[in-house]
Amino acid sequence: MKQQCSTIDTSNVRGANLIFSFLFAAAYCLINVGPVVAQTAATKLTVSEGFVNPIGFYDSVPTFSWQLPQDGEIKQQTAYRIVAATAEALLPDNADLWDSGKIASSQSVWIPYQGKALQSRQQVYWQVRYWDQQGRASGWGNPAQFELGLLNNADFSGQWICLKQDVTDKQAGYVPEYLRKEFELPAKVTSARLYVTAKGLYEVYLNGQRVGQDYMAPGWTPYHKRIETLTYDVTPYLREGKNTVGAILGEGWYAGRLMSRKPTYPEVLPQLLLQLETKQADGQTQVIVTDETWKATNKGPVRFSGIYDGEVYDARLEMNGWTEAGYDDQAWTAVRTEDVTNDIPLVPKRHYPVRVTESLPTLEITEPQPGKFVFDLGQNMVGWPQLNIPVQADKTITVRVAEMLQKDGTLYTANYRRAKSTDYYTGAENTTVTWHPTFTFHGFRYVELSGFPASVKPNKSWVTGKVLHSDFSQAGHFTSSHAKLNQLQKNITWGQRGNYLEIPTDCPQRDERLGWTGDAQVFCPTSLFNYDVHSFWASWLQSVREDQKADGLIPHVVPDISVGQGSPGWGDVAVVSPWDVYVRTGNREILEDNYDMMQRWTAAYAREAKDYIVNRRGYCDWLQPYPQNQDTRRADTPPEVIATAYFGRCTAIMEKTATVLGRPKDAEQYKKQFADIRRAFSRAFFDQSGKLTTKIPTQTAYLMALGFDLLEPQLRDGAIRNLLELIEAADGHLRTGFLGTPLITFVLDDCGHTDIAYQVLFKETYPSWFYSINQGATTMWERWNSYSHENGFGDAGMNSFNHYAYGAIDQWMVERIAGLAPDPEHPGYKHFYIQPHPGGPLTSAEAEYQTPYGQAKSTWRQTNGHLTIEATVPANTTATLVVPRLSEGLPKLTESGNPCQLIRQGDRFLYKLDPGRYTFNVE
């Protein structure tokens, strides 16, 4: 694509093309009122955090977003109009909920609804039209819609129900319950909605059919503050005449061994709450709710199902037809009921539920011990093995799983600690069955089956891996010319999928699986590139707010199970991550919703500080390699360095957040506080040469000082030299743990040492990212040396093979190697950078990302000293190409053979891009 080139020498040109286009179009519209030429309608209409036509929606004051056509003709939006109505037929001219009128604005994302108040169950239809850079109006296009769920506890007319059980022995476990009710519908059903939740986990059936594709529902929130509900359109499941609704109730997170670690929770029983609302052809409505008329039993085939320990299934106890009308339930008992109160809000689920997203076939079968068959799926994953196996009457098949194998080919399960992660299936007859567990999940690559007759020989069809995680879609893609770097990217994405199951967990396999805040904090930017996890983060940050303590401290894990609170680097998720989400989505609501939490966490630092130095112990730079300190896990960077560094980082973010939200007094206060912290940090931990004065100088201490801008200007050069000396002393390797690792390549790059950043990334030996790949890793590991061919397994007490924290390197790979980076001053990729950093052994790299405005892309290829850059800039955005320097001379940029005149800004050379697709050559 050719573009008019111009010469500008300025230090502040960002958005110049956008401003000019907007002013020109605005003037054009004043002269030419109304549509000039109809343009293609907007596409990808979504509400709030990217939902497409949702039902059971949570947000009664949603925001609206859309994308402009990516046809090359539409460059910018200059105005829009939104209409919303209670019926599609009323659109666009008779919108009875809201008509925004024509609004002069380039904003096409996160437009807040300003119409009539919306109520539970309400269906809303909406359309949008836009005006382009020439003042031409688009068509209306197809309407989008959303339907609200039940927004208030009072909307539920039924009761919580369960079968009373004695679960005082948590080790013995809770026996899942089966609940049912028959009912009659006098006429054909034209519309039906099922609203359901549980304290625990549920599966619901109507007339013999399982409702929905969700698992581990309704999910995990701070149950003392919020329980989520889900909504299903069940119109096709119902019929005139007799019907039956049934449910299975499991312990889940709410009542199992996991939550028993929290002593402040009372002894609890799983409970079900369900409401089925029908509209019939004769105009009648009917509501079926959970109440005393239901019956229950715990004599069904699922004898136990726990998140840590697996599931026990006895097919001899199957109750054929129990979810259909006419089943004999005389032996079942009445349920125990409990009224729905207002103390714990029941709210529609605000992010995607857990579903099966992929199936992995068995690649290889071995028999390391007689009668024990090991199935290799080739990938460490999270979910369950689905079995398709021959069984015998009264014989039990044992299903064990593992992430790794011992050298003799048997399962390595020591790192699961107290989690049994074992399933059992007992056959009712001699037959072939297809089965998987219900209310549990495992982290594994290998599946061991045993219990078969000696004459039975396995085949690969016996085991299929069913991958479970919250059902978000892929957002970004990275690839390069280097096979191991591509494998690293693959390992990072598999680690995210395995640990983004309902909440961001540290690991998915051992007796933990908790929402560790530090892991989540460092990985947040990477997670937002790889997958569409905006709603996932918005939901979990709500849980963080709900679990924040009265003194402002944040628990180490959220939902909180009383592990502790306040660790620097961990609790900072309350400040750092809302900002990270905002930068990548442009959604101000994430800052507005969390501003109070952000303030309170930062204020907790300020209260503890003495002369702006905070000495708060936490997990420090967790699992730093080669520690000299006796506390080998917390390693060598002093707690007061880390706490003060994060105090400074949070304060800097608070200044920016306050500015965005229009709070100038707050912004000024935080600006002054940051200057005081920087001055104190420099004096407390560095001498005048820029050298650390701590007992053990560490890479992480230098990285935090430089990366968080905590050094007085005169100390920076010395600090950089000392950091380089430490890296050189480590033979070019990192010596960083969970907090230092995300900083190392960015700091080196920003300090002009991109070559060293590449050196650290591409190291093959311990400790490095490629080291685990050389040992066979298919996900990210908790330790740099969780396993080696030479030395075997690391400390089983802390040795997860699916732990995404070190995958934070992906942010640098995307934003610097491939060069696709957001601009915090124009968040959500309204303006972004194409800034490729060729280097190391690479000859090409590519990153593409589905921004709120459309696909953005940065690709580069290097051959014979020539560099080709391809860029895609979606409509209604702009970008800046930061031209890499291939030699000491000035770079030369051409497009289709035509020279482009560059903007010089300091030592950088820039070229402004309007929407379109480009191919450049750099010499």
Catalytic option among 512, 640, 846, 848:
512
Question: Which residue type is seen at 372?
Answer: K
Q: 645, 671 in Cβ contact below 8 A?
A: no
Question: Which residue type is seen at 461?
Answer: S
Task: Report CA-CA distances (Å) from 269 to 167, 178, 711.
Answer: 8, 14, 54
Q: Catalytic site residue 589?
A: no
Measuring CA to CA, which residue among 276, 285, 201 is closest to residue 501?
Answer: 201
Q: 83, 127 in Cβ contact below 8 A?
A: yes
Q: 179, 249 in Cβ contact below 8 A?
A: yes
Parallel, antiparallel, or unpaired for β 866-873 and 916-922? Answer: antiparallel
Q: 735, 625 in Cβ contact below 8 A?
A: yes
Measuring CA to CA, which residue among 306, 147, 325 is closest to residue 239?
Answer: 325
Catalytic option among 203, 277, 655, 782:
782
**What are 252's strand-pairing partners?**
none
Element (H, E) at 604: helix 589-608
437 vs 416: CA distance, rounded Å: 19
Task: Report CA-CA distances (Å) from 550 to 34, 286, 524, 575, 609.
Answer: 55, 45, 25, 17, 18
The DSSP call for residue 315 is G
166 vs 786: CA distance, rounded Å: 41
652 vs 579: CA distance, rounded Å: 11
**What are 788's strand-pairing partners?**
792
- Which spans in 94-232 are helix H? none
Upper half-sphere CA count for residue 231 (Cβ side, 13 Å): 25
Residue 62 preceded by cis peptide, ω within 30: no
Measuring CA to CA, which residue among 918, 914, 905 is closest to residue 879?
Answer: 914
Q: At what angle do helices 534-547 and 573-585 cross, to 10 degrees?
A: 160
Its sign, for the CA torsion 292, 294, 295, 296, is negative
Q: Cα torsion at 822, 824, 830, 833 (round to 10°)? A: -40
Query: Locate tokens 């070190």: which residue?
Result: 806
86 vs 96: CA distance, rounded Å: 7
Upper half-sphere CA count for residue 7 (Cβ side, 13 Å): 2
Question: Which residue type is seen at 897?
Answer: G
Residue 573 CB-density burial (10 A; 0-12 exposed, 13-18 middle, 19+ buried): buried
Query: Locate tokens 């040109």: which residue?
Result: 13
390 vs 374: CA distance, rounded Å: 16
Residue 130 CB-density burial (10 A; 0-12 exposed, 13-18 middle, 19+ buried): buried
806 vs 137: CA distance, rounded Å: 48
Q: 801, 403 in Cβ contact below 8 A?
A: yes
Measuring CA to CA, which residue among 717, 724, 726, 647 is closest to residue 694?
Answer: 726
Q: Catalytic site residue 324?
A: no
Parallel, antiparallel, or unpaired for β 422-426 and 310-314? Answer: parallel
Q: 181, 212 in Cβ contact below 8 A?
A: no
What the block records as the tokens of 663 is: 């709070």
The catalytic residue positions are 512, 782
